């Protein structure tokens, strides 16, 4: 199993450009998440999905969009990049069976700089 993979690893955008951060998991997890992490800070949840076709906002959704057409993929879209979106983006997945566990598995991250 590759686990959670993210592409690209690094990206530099100009203000106003758009891009899609890709995330794929091969663990057949129903839940997927997008977080951002600013320097020296903890992770903040952007969006999450509890299954294909279902997404919901997290703590900091403004400026981002997501879609979940398959169980495996959960892309994050930035439409009009702004310097405030300079951050490291982590994708995660979990099998939340509704019981007592929601162990999240994280990808290696995408480091995004907006100039």
Q: Which among 22-30, 61-69, 77-85, 106-114 is the span making contact with other proteins, rule CB under 8 A?
A: 106-114
| Count of other CB atoms within 10 angstroms of residue 93 | 27
Between residues 79 and 102, which has the closer beta carbon with respect to other proteins?
102
DSSP annotation string for 27-93: S--SEEEEEEE-TTS-EEEEEEEEETTEEEE-S--TTEEE--SSSSB--EEESS--GGG-EEEEEEE
Nearest to 51 by CA among 65, 70, 66, 35: 70
Round to the nearest angstrom and report the end-to-end CA distance of the chain: 36
Q: Which among 11-19, 63-71, 77-85, 90-98 is the span making contact with other proteins, rule CB under 8 A?
A: 90-98
Binding string to other proteins for residues 19 to 38, with x set by CB under 8 A, is what?
Answer: --------------x-x---
User: Is residue 48 involved in binding other proteins (CB under 8 A)?
Assistant: yes
User: Is residue 47 involved in binding other proteins (CB under 8 A)?
Assistant: no
User: Is residue 107 involved in binding other proteins (CB under 8 A)?
Assistant: yes
User: Is residue 96 involved in binding other proteins (CB under 8 A)?
Assistant: yes
Q: Of these, 19, 45, 52, 60, which contacts other proteins (CB under 8 A)?
A: 45
């Amino acid at each position: 199993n590759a686990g959670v993979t993210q592409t690209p690893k690094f990206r530099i955008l100009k203000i106003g450009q758009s891009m899609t951060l890709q995330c794929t998991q091969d663990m057949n997890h129903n839940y997927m998440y997008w977080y951002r992490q600013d320097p020296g800070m903890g992770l903040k949840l952007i969006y999450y999905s509890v299954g294909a076709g279902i997404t919901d906002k997290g703590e900091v959704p403004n400026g981002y969009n997501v879609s979940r057409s398959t169980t495996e993929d959960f892309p994050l879209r930035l439409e009009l990049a702004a310097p405030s979106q300079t951050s490291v983006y982590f994708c995660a997945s979990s099998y939340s069976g509704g019981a007592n566990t929601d162990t999240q598995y994280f990808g290696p991250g995408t480091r995004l700089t907006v100039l």
